[in-house]
């Protein structure tokens, strides 16, 4: 569990881990620069299963995550955000699943959304079927990261990349899906908190840029090409999110990734709804569609109009 601030949600998150039915665990708390004394956790701070990793300043989520994995003593590593809750049987169910299938690299679960007060407000999107994970990971995370547990060597061999401070989990899943099997338990084992000031809400523009870069990197890798990460990161920091999507759309078209180009044109319009943007988005889409093989054009149109879930024919939970 990585945290960079002390909030009212931190202690309930810690308590949800320490209260697991599976008792043979350690909770690696990565303090990303707060200097929080253990005493401020009250009785929770006395639990000997807590191990502290203290970073001198906020190094970001990827560095904090990697530091926690490096310090972990167990063969399995489970993740939980500092504002979410793990239901009591989560760790036991995931340990059982990983022990039962040596080919399973990581296992997540269903998760329920809750508001800041803990009231249920729906389910978190995920894809329960393993065959859907690789194609969908080109666009978004197929499984729920805060509900995931994996073999420690998987996290060590696919470390979070600091280039994506707010989307490293998608980058991790897109790379992992290319080499290993991810599973999903079809029960709710995590409650995922949604509120206005959380990182995913506060850093939405940076997350969009990162997600688009990750998509193009994955397409290049899967076609045996050089990633070109540094060039894209530099460029992304100098453009608006909508303009960056338009630029990546052009790159994807030029590199033969017509379906991905249609996705970028769709993302561009979603970010900036205006007549001028709509015209430019349609032109970019038309260019991508024209360059594609005739047999692929129907699906490229579906990607532009409906998005990856319908275009790929995958089934969300």
Residue 233 has what pLDDT? 87
Residue 197 has what pLDDT? 67
C-beta neighbour count of 240 within 10 angstroms: 13
Do the Cβ atoms of 58 and 81 come closer than 8 Å?
A: no
SS (H, E, C) the chain: CEECCCCCCHHHHHHHHHCCCCCCCCEEEEEECCCCCHHHHHHHHHCCCEEEEEECCCCCHHHHHHHHHHHCCCCEEECCCCCCEECCCHHHHHHHHHHHCCCEEEEEEEEEEECCCCCEEEECCCCCCHHHHHHHCCCCCCCCHHHCEEEHHHHHHCCCCCCCCCCHHHHHHHHHCCCCEEEEEEEEEEEEECCCCCHHHHCHHHHHHHHHHHHHHHHHHHCCCCCCHHHHHHHHCCCCHHHHHHHHHHHHHHCCCHHHHHHHHHHHHHHCCCHHHHHHHHHHHHHHHHHCCHHHHHHHHHHHHHCHHHHHCCCCC
- Domain at 2-200: CATH architecture: Alpha-Beta Complex (3.90)
pLDDT tens track for 47-64: 999 999 999 999 999 999
Smallest Cα–Cα separation from 281: which of 249, 259, 303, 253? Answer: 249
Q: What is the mean pLDDT of each run of 10 residues along the chain (317 residues)?
A: 95 98 98 94 95 96 97 97 97 98 97 94 96 97 97 97 95 97 98 79 78 97 95 81 92 95 94 92 94 92 95 86
Do the Cβ atoms of 162 and 122 come closer than 8 Å?
A: no
- Residue 256's contacts (CB-CB under 8 Å, 6 or more residues apart) are 223, 291
Q: Look-up: residue for tokens 């169910």?
A: 93
Smallest Cα–Cα separation from 287: which of 275, 300, 299, 278? Answer: 300
Residue 317 has what pLDDT? 63
Give Dmax (Cα) for the chain.
66
Residue 241 has what pLDDT? 87
Which pTM value belongs to this model?
Answer: 0.92
pLDDT tens track for 258-271: 999 999 999 999 98
Do the Cβ atoms of 170 and 208 come closer than 8 Å?
A: no
Residue 267 has what pLDDT? 93
């Amino acid at each position: 569990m990585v945290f960079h601030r002390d909030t009212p949600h931190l202690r309930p998150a810690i308590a949800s881990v320490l209260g697991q039915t599976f008792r043979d665990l350690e909770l690696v708390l990565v303090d990303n620069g707060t200097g929080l004394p253990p005493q401020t956790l009250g009785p929770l701070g006395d639990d000997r299963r807590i191990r502290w990793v203290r970073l001198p300043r906020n190094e970001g989520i990827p560095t904090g995550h990697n530091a926690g994995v490096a310090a972990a003593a167990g063969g399995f590593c489970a993740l939980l955000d500092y504002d979410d809750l793990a239901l009591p049987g989560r760790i036991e169910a995931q340990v059982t699943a990983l022990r039962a299938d040596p080919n399973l690299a990581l296992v997540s679960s269903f998760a329920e959304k809750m508001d800041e007060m803990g009231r249920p407000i729906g389910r978190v999107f995920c894809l329960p079927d393993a065959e859907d994970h690789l194609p969908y990971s080109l666009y978004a995370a197929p499984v729920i990261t805060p509900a995931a547990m994996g073999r420690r060597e998987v996290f060590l061999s696919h470390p979070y990349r600091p280039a994506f401070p707010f989307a490293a989990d998608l980058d991790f899943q897109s790379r992992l899906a290319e080499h290993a099997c991810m599973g999903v338990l079809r029960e709710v084992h995590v409650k995922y908190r949604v509120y206005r000031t959380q990182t995913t809400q506060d850093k939405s523009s940076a997350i969009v840029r990162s997600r688009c870069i990750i998509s193009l990197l994955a397409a290049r890798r899967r076609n045996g090409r050089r990633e070109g990460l540094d060039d894209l990161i530099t460029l992304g920091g100098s453009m608006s999110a909508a303009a960056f999507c338009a630029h990546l759309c052009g790159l994807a078209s030029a590199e033969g990734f017509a379906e991905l180009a249609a996705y970028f044109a769709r993302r561009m319009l979603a970010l900036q709804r205006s007549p001028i943007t709509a015209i430019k988005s349609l032109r970019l889409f038309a260019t991508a569609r024209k360059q594609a093989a005739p047999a692929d054009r129907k699906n490229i149109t579906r990607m532009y109009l409906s998005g990856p879930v319908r275009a790929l024919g995958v089934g969300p939970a």
